[in-house]
Amino acid sequence: MNNQTKLKLGMRDILTSMVFGVTAGVLASILERVDAAITGGNMTPFGYSNTYAWILLSAYLYGPFGALIMTETQALIGLFTAANPLSWLWPAINAVFAIVAGFTALIIQKILPKSSVKIRIMTMSVALALLDIPAVYFVIVLVLSLPIIVYYFALPMYIGLQLVPATLLAYLILKALKKAGLKI
Protein backbone atom coordinates (compact mmCIF):
# COMPACT_ATOMS: atom_id res chain seq x y z
CA MET A 1 0.00 0.00 0.00
CA ASN A 2 1.25 3.43 -0.86
CA ASN A 3 2.04 5.23 2.38
CA GLN A 4 1.99 8.67 0.74
CA THR A 5 -0.95 11.01 1.14
CA LYS A 6 -1.69 12.75 -2.13
CA LEU A 7 -2.15 16.42 -2.84
CA LYS A 8 -2.55 15.94 -6.57
CA LEU A 9 -5.30 13.56 -7.62
CA GLY A 10 -5.60 11.50 -10.76
CA MET A 11 -8.89 10.35 -12.26
CA ARG A 12 -8.68 7.01 -10.42
CA ASP A 13 -8.19 8.86 -7.09
CA ILE A 14 -11.17 11.10 -7.79
CA LEU A 15 -13.37 8.16 -8.70
CA THR A 16 -12.26 6.19 -5.63
CA SER A 17 -13.03 9.20 -3.43
CA MET A 18 -16.48 9.37 -5.01
CA VAL A 19 -17.04 5.64 -4.41
CA PHE A 20 -16.06 6.16 -0.77
CA GLY A 21 -18.56 9.04 -0.66
CA VAL A 22 -21.35 6.93 -2.13
CA THR A 23 -20.61 4.13 0.32
CA ALA A 24 -20.54 6.57 3.23
CA GLY A 25 -23.70 8.25 1.94
CA VAL A 26 -25.70 5.05 1.66
CA LEU A 27 -24.59 4.00 5.14
CA ALA A 28 -25.34 7.48 6.49
CA SER A 29 -28.85 7.42 5.04
CA ILE A 30 -29.52 4.33 7.11
CA LEU A 31 -27.53 5.22 10.23
CA GLU A 32 -28.79 8.81 10.48
CA ARG A 33 -32.37 7.55 10.37
CA VAL A 34 -31.51 5.25 13.27
CA ASP A 35 -29.97 8.26 15.06
CA ALA A 36 -33.10 10.34 14.38
CA ALA A 37 -35.33 7.58 15.72
CA ILE A 38 -33.25 7.35 18.89
CA THR A 39 -32.46 11.04 19.51
CA GLY A 40 -35.08 12.90 17.50
CA GLY A 41 -32.33 14.26 15.27
CA ASN A 42 -30.57 16.17 18.03
CA MET A 43 -27.54 13.85 18.09
CA THR A 44 -26.06 11.63 15.43
CA PRO A 45 -23.69 9.10 17.02
CA PHE A 46 -23.93 6.41 14.31
CA GLY A 47 -23.95 8.86 11.43
CA TYR A 48 -21.09 10.79 12.98
CA SER A 49 -18.86 7.74 13.40
CA ASN A 50 -19.61 6.63 9.84
CA THR A 51 -18.89 10.01 8.27
CA TYR A 52 -15.69 10.73 10.13
CA ALA A 53 -14.29 7.24 9.58
CA TRP A 54 -14.64 7.78 5.82
CA ILE A 55 -13.18 11.28 6.09
CA LEU A 56 -10.13 9.86 7.90
CA LEU A 57 -9.73 7.12 5.31
CA SER A 58 -10.09 9.48 2.35
CA ALA A 59 -7.80 12.08 3.90
CA TYR A 60 -5.16 9.46 4.63
CA LEU A 61 -5.18 8.18 1.06
CA TYR A 62 -6.05 11.25 -0.99
CA GLY A 63 -5.39 14.29 1.17
CA PRO A 64 -7.72 17.27 1.51
CA PHE A 65 -9.16 17.10 -2.00
CA GLY A 66 -9.98 13.39 -1.84
CA ALA A 67 -11.59 13.84 1.58
CA LEU A 68 -13.54 16.82 0.27
CA ILE A 69 -14.80 14.85 -2.74
CA MET A 70 -15.82 12.00 -0.44
CA THR A 71 -17.63 14.14 2.08
CA GLU A 72 -19.46 16.27 -0.46
CA THR A 73 -20.59 13.18 -2.36
CA GLN A 74 -21.88 11.76 0.90
CA ALA A 75 -23.51 15.07 1.84
CA LEU A 76 -25.35 15.27 -1.48
CA ILE A 77 -26.74 11.78 -0.95
CA GLY A 78 -27.82 12.86 2.54
CA LEU A 79 -29.56 15.91 1.09
CA PHE A 80 -31.34 13.91 -1.60
CA THR A 81 -32.48 11.23 0.82
CA ALA A 82 -33.23 13.64 3.72
CA ALA A 83 -31.20 11.31 5.92
CA ASN A 84 -31.23 13.67 8.88
CA PRO A 85 -33.06 16.86 9.90
CA LEU A 86 -29.69 18.64 9.68
CA SER A 87 -28.70 17.25 6.24
CA TRP A 88 -28.68 20.80 4.86
CA LEU A 89 -25.84 21.69 7.26
CA TRP A 90 -23.50 18.74 6.75
CA PRO A 91 -21.95 19.80 3.40
CA ALA A 92 -20.37 22.87 5.03
CA ILE A 93 -19.45 21.31 8.39
CA ASN A 94 -18.02 18.14 6.87
CA ALA A 95 -16.06 20.12 4.26
CA VAL A 96 -14.18 21.86 7.08
CA PHE A 97 -13.45 18.51 8.73
CA ALA A 98 -12.29 17.01 5.42
CA ILE A 99 -9.89 19.87 4.75
CA VAL A 100 -8.48 19.75 8.29
CA ALA A 101 -8.03 15.96 8.13
CA GLY A 102 -6.43 16.15 4.68
CA PHE A 103 -3.96 18.86 5.55
CA THR A 104 -3.16 17.14 8.85
CA ALA A 105 -2.32 14.00 6.86
CA LEU A 106 -0.01 16.00 4.61
CA ILE A 107 1.67 17.79 7.53
CA ILE A 108 2.31 14.59 9.50
CA GLN A 109 3.71 13.01 6.32
CA LYS A 110 6.16 15.92 5.98
CA ILE A 111 7.13 16.01 9.66
CA LEU A 112 7.28 12.23 10.20
CA PRO A 113 7.63 10.65 6.74
CA LYS A 114 8.21 7.17 8.14
CA SER A 115 5.24 7.27 10.53
CA SER A 116 2.93 4.29 10.63
CA VAL A 117 -0.63 4.14 9.40
CA LYS A 118 -1.82 4.06 13.01
CA ILE A 119 0.07 7.23 13.92
CA ARG A 120 -1.27 9.12 10.91
CA ILE A 121 -4.87 8.02 11.42
CA MET A 122 -4.71 8.79 15.15
CA THR A 123 -3.12 12.21 14.54
CA MET A 124 -5.84 13.13 12.06
CA SER A 125 -8.47 11.90 14.50
CA VAL A 126 -7.06 14.04 17.32
CA ALA A 127 -7.11 17.08 15.01
CA LEU A 128 -10.78 16.39 14.24
CA ALA A 129 -11.57 15.84 17.92
CA LEU A 130 -10.14 19.30 18.63
CA LEU A 131 -12.25 20.70 15.78
CA ASP A 132 -15.28 19.16 17.50
CA ILE A 133 -15.04 21.79 20.25
CA PRO A 134 -16.26 24.71 18.10
CA ALA A 135 -18.24 22.56 15.64
CA VAL A 136 -20.40 20.87 18.27
CA TYR A 137 -21.04 24.26 19.89
CA PHE A 138 -22.05 25.71 16.53
CA VAL A 139 -24.50 22.90 15.77
CA ILE A 140 -25.99 22.41 19.24
CA VAL A 141 -26.16 25.96 20.57
CA LEU A 142 -26.34 28.17 17.49
CA VAL A 143 -28.17 25.98 14.95
CA LEU A 144 -30.40 23.87 17.20
CA SER A 145 -30.76 26.61 19.86
CA LEU A 146 -30.38 24.09 22.65
CA PRO A 147 -29.17 25.20 26.10
CA ILE A 148 -25.42 25.36 26.69
CA ILE A 149 -25.71 22.47 29.16
CA VAL A 150 -26.58 20.19 26.22
CA TYR A 151 -23.31 21.23 24.59
CA TYR A 152 -21.37 20.33 27.74
CA PHE A 153 -22.96 16.88 27.79
CA ALA A 154 -22.69 16.27 24.03
CA LEU A 155 -19.10 17.44 23.51
CA PRO A 156 -17.42 14.52 25.34
CA MET A 157 -19.63 12.11 23.40
CA TYR A 158 -18.60 13.52 20.03
CA ILE A 159 -14.92 13.71 20.98
CA GLY A 160 -15.16 10.11 22.18
CA LEU A 161 -16.89 9.03 18.97
CA GLN A 162 -14.11 10.68 16.98
CA LEU A 163 -11.26 9.21 18.98
CA VAL A 164 -12.55 5.66 19.29
CA PRO A 165 -15.16 4.29 16.85
CA ALA A 166 -14.43 6.61 13.90
CA THR A 167 -10.67 6.08 14.21
CA LEU A 168 -10.97 2.34 14.65
CA LEU A 169 -13.44 2.02 11.78
CA ALA A 170 -11.16 4.00 9.43
CA TYR A 171 -8.20 1.84 10.36
CA LEU A 172 -10.18 -1.39 9.88
CA ILE A 173 -11.50 -0.28 6.48
CA LEU A 174 -7.96 0.61 5.41
CA LYS A 175 -6.70 -2.81 6.53
CA ALA A 176 -9.57 -4.54 4.72
CA LEU A 177 -8.81 -2.67 1.50
CA LYS A 178 -5.17 -3.64 1.78
CA LYS A 179 -6.03 -7.27 2.53
CA ALA A 180 -8.37 -7.34 -0.47
CA GLY A 181 -5.33 -6.45 -2.56
CA LEU A 182 -6.62 -3.15 -3.78
CA LYS A 183 -3.87 -0.82 -4.88
CA ILE A 184 -4.70 2.48 -3.34
Written as tens digits, the pLDDT of the chain (184 aa) is: 456 777 789 999 999 999 999 999 999 989 988 988 888 766 788 989 999 999 999 999 999 999 999 999 999 998 998 877 788 998 999 999 999 999 999 999 999 999 999 999 999 999 999 999 999 999 989 998 999 999 999 999 999 999 999 999 999 999 999 899 876 6
The secondary structure of the chain, three-state, reads CCCCCCCCCCHHHHHHHHHHHHHHHHHHHHHHHHHHHHHCCCCCHHHHHHHHHHHHHHHHHHHHHHHHHHHHHHHHHHHHHCCCCCCCCHHHHHHHHHHHHHHHHHHHHHHCCCCCHHHHHHHHHHHHHHHHHHHHHHHHHHHCCCCHHHHHHHHHHHHHHHHHHHHHHHHHHHHHHHHCCCCC
- The domain 11-179 having CATH identifier 1.10.1760.20: the answer here is yes
Per domain, the residue ranges of the chain are 11-179
